[in-house]
Amino acid sequence: MKLYFPENYKSHLDLKQTERAIKQIKDFFQRDLSSELKLSRVTAPLFVMQGTGINDDLNGIERPVTFPVKELDDKRAEVVHSLAKWKRMTLADQEFAPGYGLYTDMNAIRPDEELSNIHSLYVDQWDWERVIADEERNLDFLKKIVRKIYSVLLRTEFYVYEHYPQITPILPEEITFIHAEELEAKYPDMSSKERENEITKDHGAVFIIGIGGEMPSGQIHDGRAPDYDDWTTETVNGYRGLNGDILIWNPVLQSSVEISSMGIRVDKETLLHQLKLTNTEERKELLWHNRLLNDEFPLCIGGGIGQSRLCMYFLRKAHIGEIQSSIWPDEMHKQCREHNIHLI
């Protein structure tokens, strides 16, 4: 188990206060995000049919939870990993106009997750997606949307401070942008996680651009599926990628924490290119991919924002299990109790 125990840890809020604060944060954040990005709330599925290409493949190795459906002749459904591709299909089916989009509560089960202070079997996030125009498929527009999301984080942090003045704001006023290749060149002898820690500790809040593509070293910063984010389109100074992660420095854990993974999505040409790069060209025959290749989907930008991680950060909690109810090993329960961390 990968656990970090802050020295002399004591939660700022008791259990009842925490439950109340979680609702306050979630209500405020989603209203503000909806207003900032012009997003309408929609209802989302917990599971989709296997073999349609609609589910998120993450890094391609994580096993989805599957089950047979009696009324469909035991065809198998699978619990979503995220709604990265489902959202784009919904934008098309509900005919959203450019400049507008959707958001929803995404609940997932990831049985292969390596449990830690910030990783759980249960994943909850706001999944959002917005239609864009062709001229908006560029790095400047990506940065514009990142700044909008970051402004919501800043307002939420102040909202928490108003209600719980013992939790003082610490986010910087501006978020810093850096490309994954620049980060590798800056810290060539470090791992990706070590680089993230170093840059985020220095700046407080960082957006790392271009995640998923191969860097000069031959490595990738982190894995990305080939069929939603565009991580190969050239942007500026030879760097590639129109996606990235929002990271913030967590002083309780003394570590960077990814709050959001997001990006401009693949168009038809980029999809074909990235499927070829990852030797997954057989996906072209799947329902979702076939619809994209037949120009049935709009150009869009989207991402996910972790709900429990966000609450954990704003409430200065040491373990995600203080925010959400999940399953943890007995040894983790024992160690957390010994360090004054009370899992729900």
- On the question of pLDDT at 110 being above 90, the answer is no
- Phi/psi at 171 (nearest 5 deg)? -65, 140
For the chain, what percentages of helix, strand and coil (3-state, to nearest 5) are there?
A: 35, 20, 40
Give the model's confidence band at 166: pLDDT under 50 very low, under 70 low, under 90 confident, else very high. Answer: very high
Share of the chain above pLDDT 90, in %: 88
CB atoms within 10 A of CB 58: 17
Q: What is the pLDDT of residue 59?
A: 63
CATH no. for 15-174+260-338: 3.30.930.10
User: CA 56, CA 228: separation in Å to the nearest integer?
Assistant: 9
Q: Is 88 in the active site?
A: no
Report pLDDT digits (tens) over 282-314. Answer: 999 999 999 999 999 999 999 999 999 999 999
The residues pairing with 67 across neighbouring beta strands, listed in sequence order, are 77
Report pLDDT digits (tens) over 207-255. Answer: 999 999 999 999 999 989 999 999 999 988 889 999 999 999 999 999 9
Nearest CA to 53 out of 228, 274, 223 is that of: 228
Q: Is 258 in the active site?
A: yes
Catalytic residue among 260, 261, 274, 326: 261
164: left (phi over 0), alpha (psi -120 to 50) or beta: beta
Q: What is the pLDDT of residue 58?
A: 67
What's the whole-number mean pLDDT along residues 16-37? 97
Q: Is 184 in the active site?
A: no
Tokens, residue 107: 């609940």
What's the whole-number mean pLDDT along residues 182-191? 95
What's the whole-number mean pLDDT along residues 92-106? 97
Domain ranges of the chain: 15-174+260-338
- Taking the CA atoms of 137, 143, 148 and 150 in sequence, report the sign of the dihedral they define: positive
Q: What is the pLDDT of residue 99?
A: 97
Burial profile 295-325: b = 16 or more Cβ within 10 angstroms, e = fewer: eebbbbbbbbbbbbbbbbbbbbbbbbbbbbe
Measured in whole angstroms, the distance separating CA 162 from the mean position of its chain's CA atoms is: 27
Q: Is 50 in the active site?
A: no
Helices (H) and strands (E) in the chain, counts: 9, 11
Q: What is the pLDDT of residue 237?
A: 86
Catalytic residue among 32, 36, 105, 258: 258
Catalytic residue among 230, 245, 267, 322: 245
Q: What angle do CA 330, 331, 335 make, to 5 degrees?
A: 120
User: CA 251, CA 249: separation in Å to the nearest integer?
Assistant: 6
Catalytic residue among 110, 195, 224, 316: 110
Q: Is 35 in the active site?
A: no
Its pTM stands at 0.94
Nearest CA to 52 out of 88, 84, 70, 78 is that of: 78
Catalytic residue among 56, 78, 124, 227: 56
Catalytic residue among 125, 192, 274, 324: 125
What's the whole-number mean pLDDT along residues 189-204? 96
Average per-residue pLDDT for the chain: 94
What's the whole-number mean pLDDT along residues 318-323? 96
What's the whole-number mean pLDDT along residues 79-102? 94
- Phi/psi at 6 (nearest 5 deg)? -60, 140
Q: Is 41 in the active site?
A: no
Tell me the H-state helices in the chain.
15-37, 84-93, 139-163, 180-186, 192-203, 268-277, 287-293, 307-314, 330-338
User: CA 104, CA 42: separation in Å to the nearest integer?
Assistant: 6
What's the whole-number mean pLDDT along residues 106-123? 91
What's the whole-number mean pLDDT along residues 152-163? 98
- Phi/psi at 101 (nearest 5 deg)? -160, -160
User: CA 21, CA 314: separation in Å to the nearest integer?
Assistant: 10
Give the model's confidence band at 61: pLDDT under 50 very low, under 70 low, under 90 confident, else very high. Answer: low
